[in-house]
């Protein structure tokens, strides 16, 4: 089993937990309150901006043209995802300014700091490890949910599922796995252990974030009196 596939195998318990989360169950059942979905749109949009910055660091650290090209395609796919967010926002009464104006929740912010720090201080392998959980998680969760409960034609979130079940995302995942496998081959055992640790922390964030979305968590603020 390749290094990348080993990572996904170790993340399997987290995926099993993710698909049971109320947010994802609400999506597949079609009864997720729209205000919760809007919260996800608002906090995920700036995360995608951050994802591009992480990929930019990956481009800087890549020595091989093949790996530069992979990172560039990662950016293109994230831009597609941002446009999808904008489409959903418009349909729910929001605009691009609304997506840009909302702060990330505490855990979402923590996730972006983890990804940026891992990318800035680490190797290209660390960059890919930091974002792999996101590239794997949504598509895999959607695949499992749809296999268990196919959508009806009038499902309110059918376009969300259509985007995240697009075969193109699977192609992007395979490219990501190929990149991290190439990096693993030229890395020491200590470097591979670090990549695994970076990946698992990302998986933990991805798993716990479904609850932050569902609860629409905000920062505690105590203005001066």
Half-sphere exposure of 145 (CA within 13 A, CB side): 29
Q: How many other C-beta atoms can be found within 10 angstroms of the C-beta atom of residue 143?
A: 15
Nearest to 180 by CA among 2, 26, 56: 2
Whether 110 has a pLDDT exceeding 90, the answer reads yes
Q: What is the mean pLDDT of residues 29-50?
A: 97
**Residue written as token pair 């530069």:** 68
pLDDT at 210: 98
Ranges 26-30, 57-61, 106-110, 219-223: which has the least confidence: 219-223
pLDDT confidence bin for 225, thresholds 50/70/90? confident
Residue 113, judged by CB atoms within 10 A of its CB (0-12, 13-18, 19+), counts as exposed
pLDDT at 168: 85
pLDDT at 216: 98
| Alpha carbon distance 173, 136 (integer Å) | 6
pLDDT confidence bin for 162, thresholds 50/70/90? very high
CB 72 within 8 A of CB 59: yes
Q: How many other C-beta atoms can be found within 10 angstroms of the C-beta atom of residue 125?
A: 26
Q: What is the mean pLDDT of residues 75-90?
A: 97
The pTM for the full model equals 0.96
pLDDT confidence bin for 16, thresholds 50/70/90? very high
pLDDT confidence bin for 55, thresholds 50/70/90? very high
Residue 28, judged by CB atoms within 10 A of its CB (0-12, 13-18, 19+), counts as buried
Q: What is the mean pLDDT of residues 11-30?
A: 98
pLDDT of 167-211, one tens digit each? 988 999 999 999 999 999 999 999 999 999 999 999 999 999 999
Q: What is the mean pLDDT of residues 211-223?
A: 96
Q: How far apart are the first and last CA of the chain?
A: 59
Q: How many other C-beta atoms can be found within 10 angstroms of the C-beta atom of residue 220?
A: 6
Q: What percent of the chain has pLDDT over 70?
A: 100
pLDDT at 102: 87
| Alpha carbon distance 187, 117 (integer Å) | 19
């Amino acid at each position: 089993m390749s290094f990348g596939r080993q990572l996904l195998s170790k993340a399997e318990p987290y995926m099993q937990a993710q698909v049971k989360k109320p947010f994802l169950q609400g999506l597949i059942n079609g009864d997720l309150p729209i205000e919760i979905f809007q919260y996800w749109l608002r906090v995920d949009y700036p995360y995608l901006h951050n994802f591009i910055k992480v990929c930019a660091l990956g481009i800087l650290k890549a020595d091989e043209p093949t790996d530069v090209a992979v990172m560039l395609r990662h950016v293109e796919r994230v831009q597609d995802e941002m446009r999808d967010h904008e489409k959903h926002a418009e349909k729910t009464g929001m605009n691009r300014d609304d997506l840009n104006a909302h702060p990330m929740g505490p855990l979402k912010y923590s996730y972006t700091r983890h990804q940026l720090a891992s990318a800035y201080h680490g190797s290209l392998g660390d960059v890919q490890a930091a974002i792999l959980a996101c590239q794997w998680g949504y598509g895999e969760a959607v695949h499992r949910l749809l296999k268990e409960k196919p959508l009806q034609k009038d499902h309110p979130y059918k376009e969300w599922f259509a985007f995240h079940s697009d075969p193109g995302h699977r192609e992007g995942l395979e490219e990501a796995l190929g990149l991290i496998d190439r990096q693993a081959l030229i890395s020491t055992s200590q470097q591979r252990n670090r990549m695994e640790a970076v990946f698992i922390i990302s998986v933990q964030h991805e798993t716990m974030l479904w609850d932050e979305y569902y609860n629409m968590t905000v920062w505690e603020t105590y203005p001066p009196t």
